[in-house]
Amino acid sequence: MTSAAMTLAEGNPDFRTDATLVISGSAERDYILRTTLDSLSVWKTKYTDTISPFQGKLKETTKDAAFVDGEIWVYGVNATSFSDVISAVQIGMLYYKVTAEDLISNVYIKNLNAERENEMEAKALIQANKNLYQLVCETLDKVAEHLGVKQKIHLFVYSSNLNHKIPQRDLHYALKKGGASSVQTDPKTYPFVSGSNCGKFKATIKSNLHLATLNSNTW
């Protein structure tokens, strides 16, 4: 595995996604690129303004970004948007001086859920989350293809097997439908602190680690 990784759908920096765990082990990361759906202004209001912001200027777009505890965060990144994800990867490549393969070969997500989840009935929420994870896989595959990444993408997902918002069986189905050739689950469980989307609440959750393998070298 490479020494770099990327995360999607981050929230509170105090509870940032652990991008070092792998199935039945761990890996050192020299560089971690973190992305969040929140805009920079919203994120600062929720969490902290003790950061070093900058504008990630690319040929076709500009994204707000910041150094937070020595790591690059890119803001306004929808995990299902090809243009958002590719812009984030390119900013990481530019400032970390690494390749696209370095960053996108190991991607992490923790407790990703559909927007307006509190407005949905249980069955509808599960389906919305299945669609979301499928789209994330498809987006990563398209980004990898565009950037010429030929090696496999390891998508690590933190989600309890008993998660009522998307149980293990539904999660694995969605990941495979999105293009994963295989999905496996670490036999261990990991306790993590997760924050609410509003930034006001937190809870310790026992989570499982799932690994979906996308075969980007088989186009």
Of 114-123, 158-167, 204-213, the poorest mean pLDDT is in 114-123
Q: What are the residues whose beta carbons fall under 8 Å from the beta carbon of 42, sequence distance 6 or more?
A: none
Domain 4-214: which topology?
A: Rossmann fold (3.40.50)
The pLDDT of 81-86, averaged and rounded, is 97
Nearest Cα to Cα of residue 8 among 152, 202, 158: 158
* Cα(66)–Cα(88) distance, integer angstroms: 12
> Domain boundaries in the chain?
4-214
Q: What are the residues whose beta carbons fall under 8 Å from the beta carbon of 3, sequence distance 6 or more?
A: 28, 29, 30, 31, 102
Say what the pLDDT of residue 116 is: 73
pLDDT band for position 69 (cuts 50, 70, 90): very high
